[in-house]
Amino acid sequence: MPDAADPFALFAAWMAEASAKEINDPNAMTLATATAGGVPSARIVLLKGVDPRGFVFYTNTRSRKGAELTENPAAALLFHWKTLQRQIRIEGRVEHVTDTEADTYYASRPRISRLGAWASIQSRRLGERGELEARLKSYEAEYPGEDIPRPPHWSGYRLLPDYLEFWQDMPFRLHDRTTFTRTADGWTTAKLYP
């Protein structure tokens, strides 16, 4: 039984259940960002790390999400596990991971994914797929072996949560909602009406 006062312990327990039961990508999460003017956008990304500081994902920093996180480093995550009838909402500020963390994760990726990080000008208009394939071939020639450096525009972000909500489906739409809000002394918990 996870510590009822620790949202990270509860997250770990729910993620373990999702990893055992969810058919595809239990680490898939919606990432919501917004421009400095408040225009929102959302997309699915993969959770690649979690620790008591926060939740880590990686991307091209020049992508739309990267640009929005530079303008406005507030973001939200949403995990939804339909088979478990659960979801977790997470809100907070975002910071860059360290270069060492980014290098370590980048090196763990398959070769083609590392080359793809160089080839893709993420979120920019692509005339036809052949352009991407030609860029990939160019980088395959430039980096013929396994030694492929991490592009300077590819890194990770850590969402530092201030608020988490654990939602569990219940009969008759009388769902269970438990919140954790960060305070100077740790976390306060509360229940919400469904």
CATH number of 7-109+152-192: 2.30.110.10
Name the catalytic one among 93, 114, 173, 182: 173
pLDDT digits (tens, 9 = 90+) for 113-170: 999 999 999 988 999 999 999 999 999 999 999 999 999 999 999 999 999 999 999 9
Provide the pLDDT for residue 23.
86
pLDDT at 1 over 70: no
- Reported pTM: 0.94
Q: Are 64 and 76 in contact (CB under 8 A)?
A: no
pLDDT at 42 over 70: yes
Q: What is the residue extent of each domain of the chain?
A: 7-109+152-192
pLDDT digits (tens, 9 = 90+) for 95-126: 999 999 999 999 999 999 999 999 999 988 99
Give yes or no: 124 in active site. Answer: no
